């Protein structure tokens, strides 16, 4: 085999040398660009992983919020049911109080009627007492008169 210098003319060796330098320069630039691309891709992947982690965390937190909202909703439903029961009981108490007030008025009215009747009875008893007293006097007078005839 002959050396490369013998196979290639001298004028072409200089051109190959320039091309080789350009290829080396291009190779270095390609390597640098590839390294930069690799760094960029790694950064993007890292950023995407962070976003995925945050989305997972956000999803978990939103599930907790949904659960909390459901619990609060159930508790509000229970409170509303209790308030409805209280309202119904209040209505029943109000109705019973109105009925008791009417009964109390009726008792009061009946008490006045009893009082008036008692006053009337007292007057009549006084009248009867006076009449009996008069009759007792008249009986005594009759007894005395009958003794005069016997």
C-alpha angle with apex 146: 140 to 150, nearest 5 degrees? 145
Look at residue 20 and give its three-state secondary structure: helix
CA dist 49 and 43 (Å) reads 10
CA dist 49 and 67 (Å) reads 27
Where residue 148 falls among pLDDT bands split at 50, 70, 90? Answer: confident
Averaged pLDDT, 26-40: 94
Length of the chain: 150
Q: Which of 9-13, 87-91, 121-125, 140-144 has the lowest mean pLDDT?
A: 9-13
Averaged pLDDT, 109-130: 95
Where residue 145 falls among pLDDT bands split at 50, 70, 90? Answer: confident
- N-term to C-term CA, the chain: 202
CA dist 117 and 125 (Å) reads 12
Averaged pLDDT, 72-90: 97
């Amino acid at each position: 085999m002959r050396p490369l210098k013998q196979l290639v003319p001298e004028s072409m060796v200089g051109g190959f040398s320039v091309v080789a330098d350009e290829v080396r320069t291009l190779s270095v630039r390609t390597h640098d660009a590839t390294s930069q691309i690799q760094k960029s891709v790694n950064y993007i992947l890292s950023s995407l992983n962070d976003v995925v982690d945050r989305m997972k965390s956000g999803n978990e937190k939103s599930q907790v919020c949904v659960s909390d909202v459901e619990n609060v909703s159930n508790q509000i439903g229970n409170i509303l049911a209790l308030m409805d029961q209280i309202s119904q009981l209040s209505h029943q108490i109000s109705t019973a109080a109105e009925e008791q007030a009417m009964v109390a008025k009726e008792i009061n009215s009946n008490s006045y009627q009893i009082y008036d009747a008692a006053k009337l009875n007292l007057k009549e008893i006084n009248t009867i007492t006076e009449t009996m007293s008069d009759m007792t006097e008249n009986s005594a007078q009759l007894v005395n008169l009958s003794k005069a005839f016997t």
